[in-house]
Homo-oligomer: A and B are copies of this chain.
Amino acid sequence: MKYAVITIGREHGSGGRLLAQKIADALNIPLYDKKLIHMIASESGFSEKYVEQAETKHTSSFLYNLYFDSTNLPIDDQLFIAQSNVIKKAAAQSPCVIVGRCANYVLRKRTDCLNLFVYAPMEERIHRITEEYHEQVPNKDIHRYLEKYDKQRAAYYERFTGERWGDRHQYHLMINSTVGLDHIADHIMKLVKESDANA
C-alpha cells in the first residue's frame, strides 16, 4: 500500500477537520483528532486541556514544571515526545487519518504517509468559525485572533520540526478548501485506493 496513513495539517477554520472526517468515513479507517488528545493525556499524565492547547499556546507553566520535570527536559518537549509516541503507535496499528500535531514530521521515516495541508481565505475561515463552529470570539477581533492562531501554530511546528509550517515541501497536496471538501475527499479516497491496488 503506497499510502496507509493520511496526515492533515490545517489552518484553523479551513475545514481541515471536516475533510479528515470525510476521508476517514470514505475509507472506513480511524480518525485521530480529538481522540488523539485523549490518548496523549492518558499516556503522558498531562491534562486534556493542556494537550489540546499545546499546538497554539506555548506554555512553561511553573506548576507543570514542578510536577513533571523529572527528566530535566522542558515540559513542552516532554509533551511532544509523549505525543509523538502516541502518534507512532496509532499509525502502526492500522491505516488511519491523523489531524495536526506535526504528524507528517513525526512519521517522516515512514514511506507510506500522504501528507495534506488544508487552508482557506480569511473570510471563509471567519465564516466557518462563527457560523459552523460557533466559537466565541469577539467579532471585531476575529481577524487578529486568526492571525495570532496561525503564528502560534507556525511557531509550534517550527520549534519541533525545524521546518516552516505550511511550506509546500512538507506536503503532498495543499488544498484551498474553497474548491469543495466533498470533491477533495473523493479525490483523496481514489488516490489512496489506487495506490492500494498498485501496491
Q: Which A positions have Cβ atoms within 8 angstroms of B?
A: 114, 117, 119, 121, 166, 168-169, 171-176, 178-180, 183, 187, 190-191, 194
Contact = CB atoms under 8 A, between A and B. Distances in A.
Interface on chain A toward B: helix, strand, loop, or mixed SS?
mixed
Which 8 pairs, one residue from A and one from B, show the smallest C-beta to C-beta distance? A174-B174, A172-B176, A187-B187, A172-B179, A168-B174, A119-B168, A183-B191, A173-B175
Contact of A191 (B119, B168, B179, B190): B179
B172 A173 contact: no
Contact of A176 (B173, B178, B187): B173
A164 B171 CA distance: 18
Contact of A173 (B121, B174, B191, B194): B174
**Copies of chain A in the complex:** 2
A172 to B, nearest CB: 5
Contacts of A172: 176, 178-179
A69 to B, nearest CB: 38
A168 B121 contact: no
A187 B176 CA distance: 15
A168 B168 CA distance: 8
Contacts of A176: 168-169, 171-173
**Centre residue among A114, A168, A187 by max chain B CB count within 10 A:** A168
Contacts of A178: 172
A180 B166 CA distance: 21
A36 to B, nearest CB: 24
A178 B172 CA distance: 8
A168 B166 contact: yes
Given A119-B169, A173-B173, A173-B175, 19 more contacts: A114-B179, A117-B168, A119-B168, A166-B168, A168-B174, A168-B176, A169-B176, A171-B174, A171-B176, A172-B178, A172-B179, A173-B176, A173-B179, A174-B174, A174-B175, A183-B190, A183-B191, A183-B194, A187-B190
